[in-house]
Structure formats: structure tokens, C-alpha cells
Amino acid sequence: MKKRVDIEKLLSWAYGQELPKAAPKAGGYGIGFRCGWDAVIAFGELSADVDVNRYGVVADRGATEAPHPDALIIAEAVAGLDGLVIDMPDGWCPDAGLGLGADGPALFARAMAAGTVIDRAGDVTTRRSARRLVEHHAIMGSAPDWRGGPCERDVERHQNGKPRWFLRERVVVDGVAIEREIEGWNHTAKRARPGAYTKTVFRPDPAPILIARVEYCVWHSALGLLCDDLAGRLSAYEVDGSARRLEPWQAADDLVMGGAILYDPRPASWPPKKTA
């Protein structure tokens, strides 16, 4: 009789207990990672030289048996997450509880521009892919930390704590009129120049929190896709979805996402790409 198990526990079992039984690739430390940065991350997390196998986990050189067949199927399903990209609902902004007010959407747009990658087709992915997020948290037995805030509204300041003032002026460069931003404080009169303005900032910076929430949604959506992929395929387990909420920063009746944040842009894949 198959055992029912939560997808997170199943992944931790596969990557923590079974996949390390696979032999390391020749060459030792660093071999088997998909990129050099993964090796650096592993070195920093483990603080030791490691032998990595084809599944990107530290090999157990004392293992006397091969990984469980179900663990191999799980690793194959996780590898299938490569190529998935982000598809967010129009107007979605994971800023609940941060105190950003009307500035939330603009701050989120800037955070996404800095914290994601856009390919030539215009598809968006987090800098850590869905596969990388799932593997990392399976190995560490963790989940992406979406917590943070609230953020306090302030103005941009000098090191001495006084507000910074800015002013826009029009100048002509090579016959072309342009606008540029200059200092808006009159040091002689010790007051702001007419038309000068300050810039709003939030402390702490909400950008890392917003991107962490996107990564959480990517990770959570990937778990749901894995549950669908693994259903009926394992010999010893039946998979249950994660008990975590897709948007834990939202009140239960204020959910906006309404479903997975991931889709596969490749032809004949699920779900089909949205059209305008």
C-alpha cells in the first residue's frame, strides 16, 4: 500500500536521503553543478570541499545501495521544471502588509526589473529558476522566506541625516534641449531652491522582500506542478500538495493570484501561453 506524503517532505526525502547515494561524477568538487555559481553557493553553505553527483547533491561515498527508484523519478520531474517562466495576473502586486500604499505597484515594477531576467522572447524568469529554487529548498529542508516589513516612508537623506533636495533644469546640449537633475539646495541661502523636491524612500528597502515573495510563488507553483507530474508514477508514495498557502501575506479572502504563477512557453506544453 502506498504511503501518502506531503510534496515538501517527499522532496526532502529524495534530495536529503536517496539521491546522495548516487556516485559522484569524476573530478570531485564542482562537477555536476549546472553553473559555477551553484558550486560557489554549495561551498558557502557547506563550508567544505564536496563531491557532487549528477543530481547536484553531495554524494555519500559510504552508500552501499542505489537511490530508491522513486527518488530518480522525482529528480527527473524536478529537471522538467527547466524552461518554465513567470505569468502574473495583470495588476498583481505582493505588497500586502508592507505599508507601501499607492507606491506599491511602481516599486514592484522596479523590483521586478532588477530581480528577474527577460529572454529574447520576452519571457520572464526569476534569477534563481524554478528548478534551482525547488532543489535548493529540498536540500536545505526549507521554504523561501517571504517575510519582511512593514516599511516606513521617509525621504532620501544625506549621511548627516538632512533631506536631499533635487531640481530639474533644462539645458541645451549640441542644439538639443534636455532636462537634467541637479542639486536643489541653495547652500548660500541655506534653503531649498524654488521648485526643488525631495524623493520618497522606504526603509527597509521593499525590493528584496517583493522579489522574495515572487520567488515564493514560483517555488509554490512548481510544487503544484510536481504533484501533478508525479501523480500515479511512484511505487511507494502518493503525493499530497503543500499545506502552505500560495500567498501567505494576504488575508485568506483577499487572494489575488488565483493559481500557478508558472507556465511552459514551449509548444504543446501546459498551460497554453496567454494571448492578448
Query: For 202-261, what is each residue's pLDDT tens digit?
Result: 999 999 999 999 999 999 999 999 999 999 999 999 999 999 999 999 986 665 555 668
- Asked if 75 and 81 touch (Cβ cutoff 8 Å), the reply is no
Of 136, 122, 129, 110, the closest CA to residue 205 belongs to 110
Mean pLDDT in residue range 24-39: 48
Query: For 153-173, what is each residue's pLDDT tens digit?
Result: 999 999 999 999 999 998 888
For 34, counting Cβ atoms within 10 Å of its Cβ (0-12 exposed, 13-18 middle, 19+ buried), the class is middle
User: What pLDDT score does 32 carry?
Assistant: 40
Q: Hey, is 48 helix, strand or coil? A: coil
Residue 36, amino acid? G
Residue 230 phi, psi dihedral angles, 5° rounding: -90, -10
User: What pLDDT score does 56 carry?
Assistant: 87
Angle subtended at Cα 220 by Cα 217 and Cα 222, rounded to the nearest 5 degrees = 105
List the chain domain ranges: 3-22+66-146+204-263, 157-198
Strand-pair category, 185-186 with 191-192: antiparallel
Strand residue runs (E) in 121-275: 124-126, 152-155, 166-173, 176-183, 185-186, 191-192, 200-203, 237-240, 262-263
| Cα(154)–Cα(205) distance, integer angstroms | 11
Among positive and negative, which fits the CA dihedral 203, 218, 116, 78? positive
User: What pLDDT score does 152 carry?
Assistant: 95
